[in-house]
Structure 1
């Protein structure tokens, strides 16, 4: 764990500083002329992003999120890595991998008046090797400006190829889930978790009337959330991410989870940029892969 003194070498006056937050956990706070953001160092988990041009944040975080050592939090942008969903061979291992509950190390930072960049890394260690016996260091570059860029880079430093699943599990703030719709997935096949992972086909825009949990495969195009109540579109542009996961729990499932307020599920929609299911990656020895996403807001 990096101490605050050690982290302060990466602090940038007026733009980037480090602090203790809930549960005594360390956060990085970013401020510049374009936007503000916060990053929880456990999990390299972005918990807030708001462009100065927007009255409301783009990213949703539950008011009942628990910030505890080794526990995931509800909202923000969890990093699902090095597998997505249940482990393919061992159901006792945590869903979505271990990256989101391990402490990452700050390795680089830079800033201008309008853009601030921070890089966090997770190196293989004794604890991670008990779940993932591969030499695959991973880094997350976060660039905060009028847009939010995230670049998740995995390097296979081992001698054998590995099968890798990953996602940036992004929770977006919306006015009301029942009034928004999502474009960009027309014509794509998806695996529907609510129907036993049955393969189905999307036609037209996606609207929401109940629990939705889908992996859209072979879906590299931009997705756009249309939100009439917040008078904006949120655009999700991605590279080297061939899957799109769309999730909303709806009322009953959210109530059973325990870290939602009673109506919190109405104000969120997850649109996740991923490589999952049949788009899982085969990373050869020496190969590096970067999943990149850019989030932006546009007026309706």
Structure 2
């Protein structure tokens, strides 16, 4: 397993504070070193870039090299207030503004079981809050409040790049019989048995409840829950190149995300809120 450059923050044998700001690849990052977990957030995008419960392999993948400006690929970027390309403004960035802007850390606290953080983005007539709870498991909750006096549309996602041993040896269970849409083939689909992503995958499922990401190369499993306010999106680029990411890196992740997009795009009245969540815990790997 290749070590990510972020891991250098955890090599010191000296006692370190649980929360500590550092500078890495021209970004401010918050390094979290708790007895039950290690984690790194970027101030840009309030993006969780690294998470590792004590005694386990890292749960999240992140590109080793980041662009000087723009989005960081990896971890759990927040897509907001639109998913994909903007419906009318072609020059605006894909997946919205949230992952490109610095957020404010309102609160960080610790207890015997882990850490809690509260990030906020205030943009025009929007207030967006991210609550994170990290320890032996991971929970992210995103809340959007529309503060304008006119209705508006919002789509959003918590896209998690799950780190794996080898994409060829990964299977996602828990979607058997679930209907969805295959965006690569542009057709409706219904999952049969386990989902494998070799060769590329971009499918949107109307699904609630837990799924299990079985990683046979690393002999581990992660139970993932995308909540009841969104679709479940499974994505991997296959052989399509990703700018700034080597082929070996591409083989080391698969995305399972919580997304309000397509039919799940929400129309918010003034003062109304939209919610999104993503949770994960260690599971038992299927043979």
Q: How does 1:207-218 map to 2 (within 5 A)?
A: 207-216=196-205, 218=206
Deviation, 1:114, is 2.5
Deviation, 1:145, is 0.7
- Which SS does the other structure have where 1:206 is aligned? coil
Corresponding position: 1:193 with 2:195: no
Contact 2:171–2:196 (CA<8 Å) still a contact in 1? yes
2:254 corresponds in structure 1 to: 269
2:89 corresponds in structure 1 to: 90
The RMSD of aligned alpha carbons is 1.5
Contact 1:34–1:115 (CA<8 Å) still a contact in 2? yes
Contact 1:63–1:261 (CA<8 Å) still a contact in 2? no
Deviations 1:112-148 (A, max 9, x none): 13211111111014xxxxxxxxx12101111111111
TM-score of the superposed pair, with normalisation by structure 2: 0.89
Q: How does 1:60-75 map to 2 (within 5 A)?
A: 60-66=61-67, 68-69=68-69, 71-75=70-74
2:4 corresponds in structure 1 to: none
Q: How does 1:15-164 map to 2 (within 5 A)?
A: 15-23=18-26, 25-54=27-56, 56-66=57-67, 68-69=68-69, 71-125=70-124, 135-164=125-154
2:216 corresponds in structure 1 to: 228
Deviation, 1:20, is 1.5
Query: Unaligned 5+ residue runs, structure 1?
Result: 1-12, 126-134
CA 237–160 in structure 1, closer or farther in 2 if over 3 Å, else same: same
Query: Unaligned 5+ residue runs, structure 2?
Result: 1-15
Corresponding position: 1:281 with 2:266: yes
2:281 corresponds in structure 1 to: 296
Deviation, 1:36, is 0.7
Tell me how far apart the structure 2 counterparts of residues 290 and 74 of structure 1 sit (CA, whole Å): 23
Deviation, 1:31, is 1.5
More helix by share: 1
Contact 2:158–2:277 (CA<8 Å) still a contact in 1? no
The number of residues matched between the two structures is 270
2:174 corresponds in structure 1 to: 184
- Which SS does the other structure have where 1:86 is aligned? coil
Tell me how far apart the structure 2 counterparts of residues 32 and 108 of structure 1 sit (CA, whole Å): 16
Contact 2:209–2:228 (CA<8 Å) still a contact in 1? no
User: Structure 1 residue runs of 4+, over 3 Å off?
Assistant: none
- Which SS does the other structure have where 2:99 is aligned? helix
Deviation, 1:224, is 1.2
Deviation, 1:77, is 0.7
Contact 2:226–2:257 (CA<8 Å) still a contact in 1? no
Deviation, 1:86, is 1.2
Contact 2:266–2:274 (CA<8 Å) still a contact in 1? no
Contact 1:247–1:271 (CA<8 Å) still a contact in 2? yes
Corresponding position: 1:204 with 2:206: no
- Which SS does the other structure have where 2:167 is aligned? coil
Aligned to 2:230, which of 232, 235, 242?
242
